[in-house]
């Protein structure tokens, strides 16, 4: 089973991507990988939690975080957390290069889905990669 956590500010974006991932074209792969979506509320996080807390929760609970392109604006920002805490066994974070394009361009959204599936198919070999951008 693969667990994906939608960052609190892109739950709608991830919902759109998940819908595309379950279309007839991709459905078999979605089911074979046994992908499950989670939200902050599902795992006991809140929008007020720090990036560091979110990253740690993902690592502890085996969740792949899908996030928007966050910046490095402090010691507990996502980028700083990855730089400091990432190990060779850490799960990667999947970052949408342009989250708004998910709604503006179906072609872009399809490329994100294809890229995400590519990563998920080789997820174990990507441990320790830190941040991976979609598409």
pTM for this model (two decimals): 0.95
- State the pLDDT at residue 97: 93
pLDDT of residue 76 exceeding 90 = no
**DSSP string computed for 7-61:** -GGGHHHHHHHHHHHTSTTTHHHHHHHTEEEE-TGGGT--TTS-HHHHHHHHHHH
Residue-wise pLDDT for 78-99, tens only, equals 999 999 999 999 999 999 999 9
Half-sphere exposure of 84 (CA within 13 A, CB side): 13
CATH number of domain containing 8 = 3.40.50
Question: Could you tell me if 98 and 108 are in contact, meaning their C-beta atoms sit under 8 angstroms apart?
Answer: yes
Strands 131-134 and 63-68 turn out to be unpaired
Number of domains the chain is built from: 1
Mean pLDDT of 111-135: 97
Q: For residues 39 and 42, what is the distance between their CA atoms, to the nearest angstrom?
A: 5
- State the pLDDT at residue 75: 84
Question: Could you tell me if 43 and 6 are in contact, meaning their C-beta atoms sit under 8 angstroms apart?
Answer: no
Domain that holds residue 76: 2-134
- State the pLDDT at residue 71: 63
Question: Cβ–Cβ contacts within 10 Å for residue 19, how many?
Answer: 11
Residue-wise pLDDT for 30-52, tens only, equals 999 999 999 999 999 999 999 99
């Amino acid at each position: 089973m693969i667990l994906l956590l939608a960052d609190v500010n892109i739950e709608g974006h991830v919902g759109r991507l998940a819908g595309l991932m379950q279309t007839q074209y991709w459905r078999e792969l979605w089911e074979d990988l046994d992908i499950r979506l989670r939200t902050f509320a599902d795992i006991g996080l809140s929008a007020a939690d720090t990036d560091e807390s979110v990253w740690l929760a993902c690592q502890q609970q085996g969740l792949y975080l899908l996030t928007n392109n966050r910046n490095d604006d402090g010691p507990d920002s996502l980028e700083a957390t990855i730089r400091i805490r990432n190990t060779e066994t850490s799960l990667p974070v999947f970052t949408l290069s342009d989250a708004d394009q998910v709604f503006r361009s179906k072609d872009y959204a399809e490329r994100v889905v294809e890229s995400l599936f590519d990563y998920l198919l080789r997820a174990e070999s990507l441990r320790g990669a830190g941040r991976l951008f979609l598409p």
